[in-house]
Amino acid sequence: MTSYENLIGVIFIVLTAAFMLVFTLQNRRSRLPLRHIAAMERLARLIGQSVEDGRRIHLSLGRGNFLDSHAASAVTNMAVLKEVVKRSLGSDRPPAITSGDGITTLLAVDVLDSARNMGFSGERMDARRGRLAGVSPLSCAVGTLSALYHEQTSTMITTGMQGAELQLILDTAEDESVKILTASDSPVGQAIAFSNPGDVLIGEEIFAMPAYLNTGSMYSASLLAEDALRWLLIIAIIIGSILQGLGISIV
């Protein structure tokens, strides 16, 4: 790697840190507007409706964990779970979680157990609502189906590493009239979800969930910083193309 490439990397790091600092301070004074994602707006309403109807919200966290390439989605899932638990404080049926990875399951159980400090009584919040559904793709999907059949589930959020087996969950959700939002970090899972009824998040939208659920100012700031850097990159490409067309070399 040349010194020129090192300089570009340092510039991007500094710009990212500066944008995040500025957006965090602004967001704490008044919430900054985010790009419109209809699926996230519907999710916020569905969580509230589930609480009012006394039904359950279920999160299926997939098979990724913190030790592989799916670490980013695993961190996102924990933030989403914590916010869903907060919004469900008034519900008679607290959220439930299934996962296909042992480490992720333990972390989810810890979030559920800490919900007692948020206001859930011990009788209503049972940490056993977080469970390992299965460690293989099909066993994880089949283990999740019981939440749709037997647990008074009205809304399901499927996230993390979920591939073609996601079709089983989506078909059952449609049969049981369960509203579902799919945020798989697998291209196969996204393709399966896109071809089915229900809401789906595509690409980087899956990492924006905490920001749209207003989990914390840092999440919104990171999302806005990413958009700002994207616009800077677009402007740089346009300027570079113009200069190249004029025969001016910038390298």
Domain assignment of residue 58, yes or no: yes
CA distance 67 to 154: 32
Domain with 45 in it: what CATH number? Answer: 3.40.50
CA distance 162 to 76: 15
| pTM flag (> 0.75) | yes
Q: How far is CA 33 from CA 27, 36, 142, 190, in A?
A: 9, 9, 39, 26
Contact 126, 94 (CB under 8 A): yes
Domain assignment of residue 242, yes or no: no
**Structure-token pair, residue 187:** 């291209």
**Number of domains the chain is built from:** 1
Instruction: Please report, in tens digits, the pLDDT of each residue of the chain (251 residues total).
Output: 567 777 877 888 888 888 888 888 877 777 777 888 888 888 888 888 888 888 889 999 988 777 777 788 888 888 888 888 888 877 778 888 899 888 888 888 888 877 666 655 555 555 567 888 888 888 888 888 888 888 888 899 999 888 889 999 999 888 888 999 999 988 899 999 998 888 999 888 888 888 888 887 788 888 888 888 888 889 988 998 888 888 777 66
Unique residue bearing structure tokens 């049972």 = 126
Domain assignment of residue 65, yes or no: yes
Polymer length of the chain: 251
Domain assignment of residue 222, yes or no: no
Q: Provide CB contacts within 8 A for 68, sequence distance 6+.
A: none
Domain assignment of residue 120, yes or no: yes
Buried b / exposed e over 193-227, threshold 16 CB at 10 Å, is: beebebbbbeeebbbbbbbbbebbbebbbbbbbee
Domain of 45 in residue numbering reads as 32-213
Contact 84, 47 (CB under 8 A): yes
Domain assignment of residue 233, yes or no: no
Domain assignment of residue 45, yes or no: yes
Domain assignment of residue 95, yes or no: yes
Buried b / exposed e over 116-146, threshold 16 CB at 10 Å, is: eeeebeeeebebebbbbbbeebeebbbbbbb
